Chain A
Amino acid sequence: MATPAIEIEHLSKEYPYGFLNLKKKKSLEDLSMRVETGEVFGFLGPNGAGKSTTIKLLMRLIFPDGGTARILGKSIDDVSMHRDIGYLPEQPYFYDYLTAAELLDYFARFHGLTAADRQTRVQNMLKKVGLETAKKIQLRKYSKGMLQRVGLAQAILHDPQVVVLDEPMSGLDPLGRREVRDIILELKKEGRTVLFSTHILSDAEMLCDQVGVIVGGKLRGVGTPGEIVGIKTQGMEILFEVADGKNLPLLSKATRTGGSYRVQLPEQELYGAIDQLKAAGARILSVAQIKPTLEEFFMNLVEADRAQANAVEVSGK
């Protein structure tokens, strides 16, 4: 069996809080998962679920209270492992007295690249993330989106085999998000492994081979995006236009938006509804599955968690 790119076993982390830090809050509980080589893995969860904690543990920015993790077969305590890893922190902030080119050159030095190699890579990377024209501006003058791009550039500058991105789309405009998506897909095409955290389901659906859902510090499921969310389809939605809808019973259930109508119905009623629309001479604009939003999906998990906790409390176990 091939060595997974990332392997996490029973990882747990508690944070102290309160007076003299005597109380402890579990941030991560017995997390075990694998990310296979060449896979794009989305780490999904609401804010405070434990996504960033897991990533920080992998990057040895914080230390676990229990469990182990390996990246490319090496323990996360092994610093040499970082030669093959790229990391973008959440809401990155860099030395604001440096320009983007200086910052990338600085980071490239830790990877033992020659001056000529550094220069070429820095130029290419700035071009790749769309900062070529801003390379001589100090980072203190950069917008949040531009910093995110610099962060992405420093993460992939040294051609890492594994790229870990903590909320890479955060702070980006639609164009920036698309560029990041393209970069992730390009990394995948090059055979690199990408682990990224997000709470935006559409990003995960578009990019990921596998997703892991974490809520309340516990991993609640791993699978393809379809497996995780798709199976919970809540029905179908039809968007249509109709000139005269007097003889269309469906119209009573529909909502008018602009010149078109939108109707939501159970999956088994779809074909009947389409027949009705055809008969009434309606023009069907789109038919789509209604999936729960990520928020709903997470809320269900959180509520299930609470219900389980209450049940345990009542039963005294």
Chain B
Amino acid sequence: MKNVRTVAANTFREAVRDRVLYNLVFFALLMMGAAILVGQISIGIEESVIISLGLTAISVIGLFIAVFIGVGLVSKEMDKRTLYALLAKPVERWEFLLGKFCGLVMTLTVNTAAMAVGLYLALWSVKHTLEKSDAWVLVAVYLILLKLALIVALALLFSCFTTPFLAILFTAGIYVAGVFAGNLRTMQAVNITAGAMTLMKGISYLLPNFENFNVMGAVAHGRGVPGAVVGQATLYAVCYGVVVLAGAAAIFSRRNLK
């Protein structure tokens, strides 16, 4: 695991030195500013609006980082051929891949944590106090992070066998489909044959169900999130993530570099 740690640390260092990342943090702060403004004009529901807007911003910004930087983790190294010298060292390809994944998740964690701090500051500036129930925001942030880690794994998987452009399209497509995976399972349609319905349900179970990680509504309205929901979502993310990363490693381990 030492090699994984080394690659992860370097990936994190790259992200930190990448100005795009700083811009996104700046953008996040701007969003928080906007949340404060909206909070001031939304009489009585300031807290709810700020939490909703803040969590959405954290999710959307994280999504952009996960997809765009996630896809570039491997493809950029292959295009620029920075990978050549590294793979000639005693490093397994799966170690490189896992290191890249961990590095970006580390980056997302720091980035998300910074934005969560911004969100709490925005909340405090409106209420001039923080209550115990505000801690649920952290649970929502944690679940967003799990979702982002899963998206990074998917972006890595696609970038292992296709072009960066297609990998972005596939990852974004899977994300959108995954958001509606739950709806697909429960959908009742009149004009679809039973076979097609079964196929659709089958696909819905294969797709990552991103709704598992969405507790924004509950948290924004001051409701708690049951521990079972958090545990289930964590287990789901770990299992799904391991399968996706194993697939990515299997493909990448036999990939010919240009």
Partner of A87, one of B6, B17, B88, B257: B88
Are A80 and B85 neighbours in the complex by a CB distance under 8 Å? Answer: no
Q: Which residue of A lies closest to B88 (CB)?
A: A87
Are A154 and B85 neighbours in the complex by a CB distance under 8 Å? Answer: yes
Q: How far is the CA of A80 from the CA of B91 in the complex (A)?
A: 8
Are B88 and A85 neighbours in the complex by a CB distance under 8 Å? Answer: yes
Are A63 and B92 neighbours in the complex by a CB distance under 8 Å? Answer: no
Are A89 and B90 neighbours in the complex by a CB distance under 8 Å? Answer: no
Q: How far is the CA of A87 from the CA of B83 in the complex (A)?
A: 12
Partner of B81, one of A85, A88, A89: A89
Q: How far is the CA of A80 from the CA of B6 in the complex (A)?
A: 17
How many chain B residues have a CB neighbour from A under 8 Å? 23
Q: How far is the CA of A117 from the CA of B169 in the complex (A)?
A: 46
Chain A contacts of B87 at CB under 8 A?
59-61
Minimum C-beta distance from A209 to chain B (A): 23
- 8 Å CB contacts to B: which residues of A104-150? 106-107, 109-112
Are A63 and B89 neighbours in the complex by a CB distance under 8 Å? Answer: no
Partner of B89, one of A62, A89, A107: A107
Partner of B85, one of A81, A97, A107, A111: A107
Q: How many of chain A's residues touch chain B, expressed as a range?
A: 20 to 34
Q: How far is the CA of A129 from the CA of B167 in the complex (A)?
A: 40
Chain B contacts of A88 at CB under 8 A?
85
Whether A253 is near chain B, meaning CB under 8 Å from some CB there, is no
Whether B132 is near chain A, meaning CB under 8 Å from some CB there, is no
Are A87 and B90 neighbours in the complex by a CB distance under 8 Å? Answer: no
- 8 Å CB contacts to A: which residues of B103-133? none
Whether A216 is near chain B, meaning CB under 8 Å from some CB there, is no
Minimum C-beta distance from A77 to chain B (A): 11
- 8 Å CB contacts to B: which residues of A56-87? 56, 59-63, 79-83, 85-87
- 8 Å CB contacts to A: which residues of B213-230? none
Are A61 and B17 neighbours in the complex by a CB distance under 8 Å? Answer: no
Chain A contacts of B6 at CB under 8 A?
106, 109-110
- 8 Å CB contacts to A: which residues of B1-47? 2-3, 6, 10, 13-14, 17-18
Chain B contacts of A62 at CB under 8 A?
256-257
Are A111 and B10 neighbours in the complex by a CB distance under 8 Å? Answer: no
Minimum C-beta distance from A92 to chain B (A): 6
The contact sample of 21 A-B pairs, CB cut-off 8 A, is: A59-B87, A60-B87, A61-B88, A79-B92, A80-B90, A81-B90, A82-B89, A87-B84, A87-B85, A89-B85, A91-B81, A93-B80, A94-B82, A106-B6, A107-B85, A109-B2, A110-B3, A110-B89, A111-B90, A112-B2, A151-B85
Q: Which residues of B contact A (CB under 8 A)?
A: 2-3, 6, 10, 13-14, 17-18, 80-82, 84-92, 254, 256-257
Q: Which residues of A contact B (CB under 8 A)?
A: 56, 59-63, 79-83, 85-89, 91-95, 97-98, 106-107, 109-112, 151, 154-155
